[in-house]
């Protein structure tokens, strides 16, 4: 049958099983929005307060569900407002399709009103992108975009469609998408054999898990693998929940704000088995001194990650779930009783600590874990609150911790929280924010209230840019250049003005009752938590130092 380009867009979204789109309309994309209106019973559109919020919501939806997230924007500033969200998704390998519209073909290259080369702008931060100038190629392009976004190592794809294409007509025939196949073509028997050899010869193995294990849904295979190797497990920020954070073998996060147990254990191990992690600088510290006593076995879907940041001794390329299945079939049960006992001793000697005398972020997170029984999706912004969320809330399952890792995007969490809740309506979804981050995209509270999306926004309000202040305190002789936020903004009144229920807490004894009430309300809620401006994230590795040079607050006081 013959359809307009706008109709083809909607039919292709329906082909792909898209049930929700996040976006903001404008002139060049009006034809598509007109068709969305006609199909509102099939595809729900969430109008965000800003296009950046739409991109973060699509990202959060994708991370929570494993599906491809979809966002839309008009040309010019509408499309450029998606850029930060697209880059965030790219850095964290999130499957997302961003659909933008542009001026008509005859107006391209003429500096027309709201014309921008969004394909050129996003080329470095997408897996692929397109500009569609011919309506006959539109359906195939959209199908390819979804396939590319979801296959292999996932990532964002941009499809820019000129306005005349959305009005032109072409023959459309429905196509049922083929299932995305797991990447196994590069898994070789020789690589599996080498990996088994390294594991069976190791006396002190350590398993290090990243976001790739979450993406590949390898939770069960990873558990079996850990049991067979008989090794302790650390993770990255992106790897939270891939391995059960309540398991006795779990030692916590690795790296700059990782636990002493993880940092010291990885430094002492003789084999580091790295699963779906890319050895970012925040993990390795001084890369030349990272895991310097160990051979490194890296398992990853992307061959470009092998030997990029850290030189490996062996690697297996392929989908992590499939690689672990093959390793589990061939690996005999190992026994490292003494090594595990040593790591457990480190855990006992070096627990995470915080000030118990006053209201703090860690205390709130521990109470939140207790109240939710760990059965919630936690999203975050970026900063101290993000690190505390990684340290003090325990993640038992994948897709329950959603945060901007690679790009470190302040203003990410609230939009992502909305997207995660839309994608997982039966889960309690809570965004942890600092007051600095909340200012970035706080207008999305209005999105939550517009649709009565029952998210909870918890602000750790220390009236400073906390993580930057921490660095200024430790490394810049307390020169607090532009990090004090001692103004008169009242977040409770602001949230209430946008239609949300709001609370302010100052003390520990208020936390539990407010959290329980907020969850029970089942409506958008903001909780403004007043904490000390000099609370810090401990432990810490100084920039450029080796990870075994990790120090706590007590260590710092002893040095001084």
Kindly indicate the confidence band of residue 463, based on its pLDDT and cuts at 50, 70 and 90.
very high
Instruction: Using alpha carbons, list the distances in angstroms from residue 447 to 48, 54, 100, 451, 452.
Output: 5, 10, 21, 7, 8
Is residue 557 among the annotated active site residues? no
| Spatial distance between the Cα atoms of 29 and 74, rounded to a whole number of angstroms | 5
Mean pLDDT of the chain: 97
Q: What pLDDT was estimated at residue 46?
A: 98
User: Tokens in use for 521?
Assistant: 């309300």
**Secondary structure (3-state) at 297:** strand
Summarised one tens digit per residue, pLDDT across range 516-552 is: 999 999 999 999 999 999 999 999 999 999 999 999 9
Q: What pLDDT was estimated at residue 48?
A: 98
Is residue 279 among the annotated active site residues? no
Higher pLDDT: 499 or 107? It is 499
Residue 349 has pLDDT above 80, yes or no: yes
Report CA torsion sign: 530, 533, 539, 543: positive
Domains and CATH numbers, the chain: 2-171 (3.40.50.970), 189-349 (3.40.50.1220), 361-537 (3.40.50.970)
Q: What pLDDT was estimated at residue 559?
A: 84
Element (H, E) at 428: strand 428-434
Is residue 72 among the annotated active site residues? no
Summarised one tens digit per residue, pLDDT across range 6-54 is: 999 999 999 999 999 999 999 999 999 999 999 999 999 999 999 999 9
Kindly indicate the confidence band of residue 487, based on its pLDDT and cuts at 50, 70 and 90.
confident
Write down the catalytic residue from 35, 51, 305, 381: 51
Summarised one tens digit per residue, pLDDT across range 120-139 is: 999 999 999 999 999 999 99
Of 116, 173, 118, 163, the C-alpha closest to 143 is 173
Q: Angle of helix 30-38 relative to helix 5-15, nearest 10 degrees? A: 50
Give this prediction's pTM. 0.97
**Secondary structure (3-state) at 10:** helix
Write down the catalytic residue from 15, 114, 367, 510: 114
Is residue 114 among the annotated active site residues? yes
| Spatial distance between the Cα atoms of 143 and 148, rounded to a whole number of angstroms | 9
Summarised one tens digit per residue, pLDDT across range 178-198 is: 999 999 999 999 999 999 999
| Spatial distance between the Cα atoms of 453 and 128, rounded to a whole number of angstroms | 32
CB 204 within 8 A of CB 272: no
Residue 60 has pLDDT above 80, yes or no: yes
* List of residues 6+ apart from 309 with CB closer than 8 A: 278, 279, 280, 281, 284, 287
Write down the catalytic residue from 96, 127, 146, 163: 163
Summarised one tens digit per residue, pLDDT across range 394-427 is: 999 999 999 999 999 999 999 999 999 999 999 9
Residue 286 has pLDDT above 80, yes or no: yes
Is residue 51 among the annotated active site residues? yes
Summarised one tens digit per residue, pLDDT across range 365-395 is: 999 999 999 999 999 999 999 999 999 999 9
Residue 560 has pLDDT above 80, yes or no: no
Q: Read off φ and ψ for residue 273, nearest 5 degrees.
A: -95, 110
**Secondary structure (3-state) at 410:** coil
Write down the catalytic residue from 42, 113, 201, 517: 113
Residue 221 has pLDDT above 90, yes or no: yes
Q: What is the DSSP string of 4-15?
A: EHHHHHHHHHHH
């Amino acid at each position: 049958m013959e359809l307009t380009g706008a109709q083809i867009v909607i039919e292709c979204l329906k082909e792909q099983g898209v049930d929700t789109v996040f976006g903001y309309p404008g002139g060049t994309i009006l034809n598509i929005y007109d068709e969305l209106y006609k199909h509102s019973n099939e595809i729900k559109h969430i109008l965000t307060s800003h296009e950046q919020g739409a991109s973060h919501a699509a990202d959060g939806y994708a991370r929570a569900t494993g599906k491809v997230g979809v966002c839309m924007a008009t040309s010019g500033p509408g499309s450029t407002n998606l850029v930060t969200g697209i880059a965030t998704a790219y850095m964290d390998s999130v499957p997302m399709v961003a659909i933008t519209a542009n001026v008509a073909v005859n107006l391209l290259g003429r500096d027309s009103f709201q014309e921008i080369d969004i394909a050129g702008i996003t080329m470095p931060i997408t897996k692929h992108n397109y500009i569609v100038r011919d309506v006959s190629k539109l359906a195939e392009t959209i199908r390819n975009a979804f396939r590319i976004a979801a296959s292999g190592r996932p990532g964002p794809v941009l499809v820019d469609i000129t306005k005349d294409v959305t009005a032109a007509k072409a023959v459309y025939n429905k196509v049922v998408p083929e299932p995305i196949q797991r990447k196994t073509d590069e898994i070789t028997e020789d690589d599996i054999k080498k990996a088994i050899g390294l594991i069976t010869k190791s006396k002190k193995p350590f398993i290090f898990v990243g976001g790739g294990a979450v993406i590949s849904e390898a939770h069960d295979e990873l558990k079996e693998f850990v049991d067979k190797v008989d090794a302790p497990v650390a993770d990255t920020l992106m790897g939270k929940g891939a391995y059960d954070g309540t398991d006795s073998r779990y030692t916590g996060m690795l790296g700059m704000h990782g636990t002493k147990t993880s940092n010291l254990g990885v430094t002492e191990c003789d084999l580091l088995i790295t699963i779906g992690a890319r050895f970012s600088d925040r993990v390795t510290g001084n890369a030349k001194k990272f895991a310097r006593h160990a051979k490194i076995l890296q398992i990853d879907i992307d061959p470009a990650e092998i030997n990029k940041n850290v030189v490996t001794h062996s690697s297996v390329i392929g989908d992590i779930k499939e690689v672990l299945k093959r390793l589990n079939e061939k690996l005999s049960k190992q026994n490292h009783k003494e090594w595990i006992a040593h790591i457990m001793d480190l855990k006992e000697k070096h627990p995470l600590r915080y000030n118990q005398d006053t209201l703090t972020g860690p205390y709130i997170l521990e109470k939140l874990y207790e109240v939710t029984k760990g059965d919630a999706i936690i999203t975050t912004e970026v900063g101290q609150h993000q690190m505390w969320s990684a340290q003090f809330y325990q993640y038992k399952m994948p897709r329950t911790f959603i945060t901007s890792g690679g790009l470190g995007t302040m203003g990410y969490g609230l939009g992502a929280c909305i997207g995660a809740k839309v994608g997982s309506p039966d889960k309690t979804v809570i965004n942890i924010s600092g007051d600095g981050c909340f200012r970035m995209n706080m207008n999305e509270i209005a999105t939550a209230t517009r649709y009565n999306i029952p998210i909870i926004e918890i602000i750790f309000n220390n009236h400073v840019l906390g993580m930057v202040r921490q660095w200024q305190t430790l490394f810049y002789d307390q020169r607090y250049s532009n990090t004090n936020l001692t103004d008169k903004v009242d977040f409770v009144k602001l949230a209430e003005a946008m239609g949300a229920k709001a609370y302010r807490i100052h003390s520990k004894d208020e936390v539990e009752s407010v959290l329980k009430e907020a969850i029970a309300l089942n409506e958008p809620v903001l909780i403004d938590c007043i904490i000390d401006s000099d609370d810090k994230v401990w432990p810490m590795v100084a920039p450029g130092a080796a990870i075994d040079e990790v120090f706590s607050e007590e260590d710092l006081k002893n040095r001084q």
